[in-house]
Amino acid sequence: MSKGLDDMMMKVFPDAMNNRRQGKCPFCGKLINPDEEFRDQLSVKEYHISGLCQKCQDEVFKEPTEEY
């Protein structure tokens, strides 16, 4: 992440960015061990982008249910 983008994200999402810097999921705050946390390489790739743990990735990317 570029310095400018990192600074902007810190201003907008300070708690999430602090969690991520500490190796925690920005959504739930769980401490992440990247060697044990993820089920596949796609999840590892997403972790490097967003910092999300597997459980939060599953929630964010789950298939929508059709409820009317």
What ranges do the domains of the chain cover?
Answer: 3-60
Q: Give tens-digit pLDDT for 27-44.
A: 999 999 999 999 999 999
Confidence of residue 66 (pLDDT cuts 50, 70, 90): confident
* pLDDT at 60 (0 to 100): 96
Q: Please state at what angle helix 14-21 crosses helix 3-12, rounded to 10 degrees.
A: 120
Counting Cβ atoms within 10 Å, is residue 48 exposed (0-12), middle (13-18) or buried (19+)? exposed
